[in-house]
């Protein structure tokens, strides 16, 4: 049973960079938690603090029952998969897998049993005699995972393990990691800057920005109810449309916004958000309470099954993107209207960037 708990954890690097500013998290036993955020937000730092590779400036980290602040990495019963795999280049795959077990003075037959088992699970049994340089990127990735699995640790830590693979392999390995983690049931913390990876892998996502937690939630919660402007713009691809509300209303770029569909007491600098995939071009399926956006087409991005229409809101009130199923050719300059249902709208206070809900909206 391994839960990981972070209590007000902070990290200041020598030189004064405050990489982590008071993070608290409860990671459940067997949970797959994904830390996501833009480059430099402190994801690796936080993971390395859990691993014991960085000191903890303030706060407390516990793994299982133990506070691990002052424990060496080797004493924390965790295994880490590094972005560059960190395989020992002068050792064979088998030696790579055995290294941590031998250092722990495990019995020979137990080591052999674990290596065979891990090699079987990962399909690298034929590669055991090879050196890392004789492996493809995907195979190295598997060996790196193998090195973590043989340890049978209390928790796995992953730091962008897929970012060196090509797009297709990345999707495949993503599925494998997910499957593996489910079947082993080992608590895992996974760092990525790829929000798609976060959405598909996570039991829960932690969105990190500038060393602070913006939101913690299941992928669906984070997608459907982003807690802040930052999360709204970070999660979802293409990004959510964010429009200055007052300006759009004054310039008549938005129609159909009745008082009931807008939270009361919004400040004048409030921002309205709506996802491209929640909008439809034209009047198809528009309900009686539909909200309309008027815009001029500037470009069309066709990605095969669907197209993204980019445009300027009427009166220059902001940019907007709308998804259309199928392939479309629209001339720049075409004036269009897109509709959405009022419950698909998100509102954020301008100054703080915090989400503001409509009264009576479902929590």
Partner 1 sequence: MRTKRVVFRSLWLPYLLIAPQIAITAIFFLWPAGQAIYQSFLRQDAFGLRTEFVGLENFARLVNDPLYLKSFTTTLVFSALVAGISMGVALLLAVMADRVLRSALFYRTLLIWPYAVAPAVAGVLWFFLFNPTIGIAAYFLARLGYEWNHYASGTDAMALIVIAAAWRQVSYNFLFFLAGLQAIPGSLTEAAAMDAAGPFKRFWTIQLPLLSPTVFFLLVVNLVYAFFDTFGIVHATTRGGPGNDTAILVFEVWRDAFEGLDLGFSAAQSVVLMAIVIALTAIQFRYIERRVEY
Ligand X SMILES: Nc1ncnc2c1ncn2[C@@H]1O[C@H](COP(=O)(O)OP(=O)(O)OP(=O)(O)O)[C@@H](O)[C@H]1O
Residues that bind partner 1 (CB under 8 A): 51-53, 72-74, 78-80, 82-84, 86, 88-90, 99-100, 103-104, 131, 147
| DSSP state at residue 354 | B
Torsions phi, psi for 142 (to 5 deg): -65, -40
Indicate the DSSP class of residue 125: G
Determine which residue in the list 25, 43, 97, 307 makes contact with ligand X, applying CB under 6 A: 43
Report how far residue 138's alpha carbon sits from residue 161's, in angstroms, rounded to the nearest whole number. 10
Is residue 19 a contact residue for ligand X (CB under 6 A)? yes
Instruction: Work out which of 1, 15, 183, 360 binds ligand X, going by CB under 6 A.
Output: 15
For position 44 contacting ligand X by CB under 6 A, the verdict is yes
CB-wise, 51 or 317, nearer to partner 1? Answer: 51
Backbone Cα Rg of the chain = 24
What's the Cα-to-Cα distance from 113 to each of 22, 108, 341, rounded to whole Å? 42, 9, 58
> What is the distance between the alpha carbons of residues 355 and 57, in angstroms, rounded to a whole number?
31
- The binder of 84, among partner 1, Mg ion, ligand X, none, by C-beta within 5 to 8 A per type, is partner 1
**Cα dihedral sign, 187-59-160-127:** negative
Please state the closest distance from residue 192 (CB atom) to ligand X, in A.
8
CB of 117 to ligand X, least distance (A): 32
Closest approach of Mg ion to the CB of residue 40, in Å: 8
Measured from the CB atom, the residue of 50 and 320 that comes closer to partner 1 is 50
Q: For tokens 């909200």, name the residue.
A: 291
Examine residue 192 and tell whether it contacts Mg ion (CB under 5 A). Answer: no
In degrees and rounded to multiples of 5, residue 300 shows phi and psi of -125, 130
Positions in 193-212 near ligand X (CB under 6 A): 193
Shorter beta-carbon distance to ligand X: residue 14 or 304: 14
306, β-bridge pairs: 325
Nearer Cβ to Mg ion, position 44 or 228?
A: 44
Which of partner 1, Mg ion, ligand X, none does residue 308 bind (CB under 5 to 8 Å by kind)?
none
Rounded CA separation 120/118 (Å)? 5
- Which residues of this protein are in contact with ligand X, per CB under 6 A? 13, 15, 17, 19, 37, 39-45, 193
């Amino acid at each position: 049973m391994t839960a990981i708990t972070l209590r007000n954890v902070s990290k200041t690097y020598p030189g004064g960079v405050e990489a982590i500013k008071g993070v608290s998290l409860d990671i459940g036993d067997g949970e797959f938690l994904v830390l996501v955020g833009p480059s430099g937000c402190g994801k690796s730092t936080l993971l390395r603090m859990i691993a014991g590779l960085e000191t903890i400036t303030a706060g407390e980290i516990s793994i299982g029952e133990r506070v691990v602040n002052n424990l060496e990495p080797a004493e924390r019963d965790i295994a880490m998969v590094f972005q560059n795999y960190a395989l020992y280049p002068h050792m064979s795959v088998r030696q790579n897998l055995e290294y941590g077990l031998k250092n722990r003075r495990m019995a020979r037959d137990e080591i052999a049993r674990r290596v065979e088992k891990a090699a079987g699970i990962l399909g690298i049994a034929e590669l055991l005699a090879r050196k890392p340089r004789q492996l493809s990127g995907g195979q190295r990735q598997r060996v790196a995972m193998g090195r973590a699995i043989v340890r049978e640790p209390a928790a796995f830590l992953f730091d962008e393990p897929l970012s060196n693979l090509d797009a297709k392999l990345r999707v495949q390995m993503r599925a494998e990691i997910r499957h593996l983690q489910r079947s082993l049931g080992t608590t895992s913390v996974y760092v990525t800057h790829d929000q798609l990876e976060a959405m598909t892998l996570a039991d829960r996502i932690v969105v990190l920005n500038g060393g602070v937690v913006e939101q913690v939630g299941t992928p669906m919660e984070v997608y459907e109810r982003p807690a802040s402007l930052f999360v709204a713009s970070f999660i979802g691809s293409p990004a959510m449309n964010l429009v200055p509300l007052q300006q759009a209303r004054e310039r008549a770029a938005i129609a159909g916004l009745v008082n009931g569909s807008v939270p009361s007491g919004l400040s004048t600098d409030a921002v309205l958000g709506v996802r491209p995939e929640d909008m439809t071009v034209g009047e198809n399926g528009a309900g009686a309470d539909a909200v309309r956006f008027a815009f001029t087409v500037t470009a069309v991005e066709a990605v095969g099954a669907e197209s993204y229409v980019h445009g300027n809101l009427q009166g220059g009130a902001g940019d907007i993107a709308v998804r259309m199923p199928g392939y479309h050719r629209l001339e720049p300059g075409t004036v269009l209207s897109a509709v959405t249902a009022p419950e698909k709208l998100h509102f954020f206070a301008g100054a703080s960037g915090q989400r503001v809900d409509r009264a009576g909206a479902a929590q």
